[in-house]
Amino acid sequence: MQPATSQRNQYILYEPAERPPRAVTLFVGFQTASLTIAGIVLTPAIVARAAGTGETYLSWAVFAALIVSGLTTMLQAARIGRFGAGYILLMGTSGAFIAVCVTALVEGGPAMLATLIVVSSLIQFALSRHLSLLRRIITPTVAGTVIMLIAVTVMPIIFDMLTDVPAGTPTLAAPASAGATLVVTVMLVLRVSGMWRLWVPVIGITAGCIVASFFGLYDVQRVDAAAWIGVPTGGWPGFDLGFGPVFWSLLPAFVFVTLVGAIETIGDAVAVQKISWRKPRAPDFRVVQGAVAADGMGNLLSGFAGTMPNTTYSSSIAITEITGVAARGVGVCIGIVFLVVAFLPKLSAVLLAIPNPVVAAYLLVLIALLFVLGMRIIVQDGVDYRKATVAGVSFWIGVGFQNQLIFAEYIDERWLALLSNGMTSGGLTAVLLTLFIELTAPRSQRIETALAVADLPKIRAFLEAFAARRGWNVAMADRLCLAAEETMQILIQQGEDETAEKRRRLRLVARSDGASAANLEFVAATGEGNIEDHMAILAERDVTAPLEHEISLRLLRQFTSSVRHQQYHNSDIVTIRIDVPPRER
């Protein structure tokens, strides 16, 4: 990954750690929640009705989904311990689970579904804890591709919603209300700035609802019939602890979809960091670990509550980009709104009464922005022909399966229902292609030492032998050794407050990229600060008078073509690339 640029994002009004005025927090929180509630409610409704479970379970599933979504959205924003991202990441029911959940309800009932969700959620806790082990598989290219495929998966639903109106509605009702929403929203996004950006969603939705009301599309009867306060009676399914053939036949599918959802969460956690700060930062993978852990907690709570599994909603990233408000307090406010709406059917009805064409038109803008954000993540990671192949092939395979254009007649119906989700099929392809690259890469060499100046001679001897085996000359060997020395110096400086008893260890992995470059990976205990961010700051300082601790950073930038610093709980992983000069290849 190239060092982060120092270009500021002037569109961010409030960063995560800042506290906007209370009125702004409440306003943005409520409008964001109101645009998301329909999606949270819709998924369990589709699953319950498709499986024919009855209204009792449906009412409970919707109520429980709002409760779990509220709690986990607050957890993502507040970040308690190692659970949560510390950013605005909305949590809601996952559409990726629709096919497997319907099958579980039909074959085993709600109790079987609850058991499967609880067991499969444990995968996410393990993934969060050991995410650093998968760093070469779940890469920014994979994450960016999955985010792009979210658009592929959601857009057909949005296009269907654009024309989803009751029978007997005037012909112009859907296009007029959707068109008003789309035009007003796009014009405001393109032209307004500052605090006016907070009003973009409200103005766009309101404009669409006003036009829709002239055609009788706003469902006033739903609002009138809803109770002010209410809690479903009965409906909690309990658990099926028989662990019979149905459980074991469905568990692999649940685990697979859970992993796909975790990859989406990883992409969302990377993306939200890119758009939440005025000065761009390198992704902090401790944030990603927290987001995945909170996602796992959401699935665990969903299983205990007997409702659909949770996942992060990528649309919240686009909403943050539009409003410019990334403050954590907004995420907490959104979670509170979900909790309140769960107990206030009247308020829920007001939001759910917004016509589908209006909601779809607004979502069209959000998903379009999300698609571009996925592209940006891929490009900023640096695109070579390998990454381009992974992203391009995976994307179009996802598109093909989403539209059932790839050998649909030869695939078993159960697997087709799973793979016809473009995010699932494309994401799996991206993971498999990346795994193939890793398995067929040139064999690496490694050494383990203490992270100390005294062990630099061991590192130098190791790299000189590595260069000799590759047939590189003394100049290239010296280049490797100097780059490694400066990287170690930076890591040592970050851990200077460590006691002797806690002295950090270092694992250095060296591998060649053909004859053109060498990649060195340094794995050490966690230090403070991100090297990519520090290198970006150098461009803003006076190069003629560098501070003492910046000398290693400047030299490292001189010796390397790219530096990538991934920070996880308990470990720092710095990967540098050193190109072989053309005359020496």
Name which of 325, 437, 330 is nearest 384 in CA terms.
Answer: 437
Most confident of 7-21, 250-264, 295-309, 464-478: 295-309
Residue 291: what pLDDT?
A: 92
At 217, is the pLDDT very low, low, confident or very high (cuts 50, 70, 90)?
A: confident
Residue 557 is given by DSSP the state H
- In the chain, % of residues over pLDDT 90: 8
Name the more confident of 430 and 353.
430
Mapped to the 3 state alphabet, what secondary structure does 86-111 carry?
A: CCCCCEEECHHHHHHHHHHHHHHHHH
Using CA atoms, how far apart are residues 70 and 49, in angstroms rounded to an integer? 24
Residue 552: what pLDDT?
A: 66
Characterize 464-481 residue by residue with b for buried, 16 or more Cβ atoms within 10 angstroms of its Cβ, and e for exposed. Answer: bebbeebebeeebbebbb
Residue 195: what pLDDT?
A: 60
Work out the angle at residue 420's Cα, subtended by the Cα atoms of residues 394 and 145, and round it to the nearest 5 degrees: 25
At 499, is the pLDDT very low, low, confident or very high (cuts 50, 70, 90)?
A: very low
Name which of 421, 276, 350 is nearest 35 in CA terms.
Answer: 350
- Give pLDDT tens digits for 295-327: 999 999 999 998 888 888 877 787 788 788 888
Residue 76: what pLDDT?
A: 92
pLDDT at 102 over 70: yes
Residue 501: what pLDDT?
A: 46
Residue 101: what pLDDT?
A: 79
Name the more confident of 276 and 495.
276
Domain 445-584 in CATH 2.40.40.20? The answer is: no
Picking from 8-12, 82-86, 153-157, which range would have the lowest pLDDT averaged per residue? 8-12
Stretch 164-177: mean pLDDT, rounded? 83
Name which of 39, 41, 9 is nearest 345 in CA terms.
Answer: 41
Dihedral, 182, 46, 302, 87 alpha carbons, nearest 10: -10
Residue 75: what pLDDT?
A: 94
Stretch 261-278: mean pLDDT, rounded? 83
Contacts of 577 (CB under 8 A, 6+ apart): 513, 517, 518, 519, 560, 561, 562, 563
Name which of 571, 23, 62, 86 is nearest 327 in CA terms.
Answer: 86
Name the more confident of 491 and 182.
182
CA distances to 140, 169, 257, 435, 571 from 289, in Å:
15, 48, 18, 21, 12
Helices (H), 52-139: 55-78, 98-129
In this structure, what token pair is assigned to residue 533? 């961010």
Average pLDDT value for the chain: 79
Whole-model pTM: value is: 0.70
At 143, is the pLDDT very low, low, confident or very high (cuts 50, 70, 90)?
A: confident
Residue 170: what pLDDT?
A: 83
Picking from 124-138, 248-262, 275-289, which range would have the lowest pLDDT averaged per residue? 248-262
CA distances to 74, 147, 379 from 325, in Å:
16, 21, 25
Name the more confident of 55 and 547.
55
Contact yes or no for 514/558 (Cβ under 8 A)? no
Name the more confident of 311 and 501.
311
Using CA atoms, how far apart are residues 196 and 185, in angstroms rounded to an integer? 12
Most confident of 33-47, 197-211, 383-397: 383-397
Contact yes or no for 161/359 (Cβ under 8 A)? yes
- Give pLDDT tens digits for 448-490: 888 888 888 898 999 888 888 888 888 888 888 888 888 888 7
Contacts of 585 (CB under 8 A, 6+ apart): 515, 516
Using CA atoms, how far apart are residues 483 and 558, in angstroms rounded to an integer? 9
Q: What residues does each domain of the chain span?
A: 22-438, 445-584
Partner residues linked to 518 by β-bridges: 512, 578
In this structure, what token pair is assigned to residue 204? 């766009």
pLDDT at 149 over 70: yes
- What number of residues does the chain have? 585
pLDDT at 51 over 90: no
At 500, is the pLDDT very low, low, confident or very high (cuts 50, 70, 90)?
A: very low
Stretch 523-535: mean pLDDT, rounded? 64
Stretch 213-234: mean pLDDT, rounded? 76
Mapped to the 3 state alphabet, what secondary structure does 327-349 carry?
A: CHHHHHHHHHHHHHHHHCHHHHH
Stretch 415-442: mean pLDDT, rounded? 79
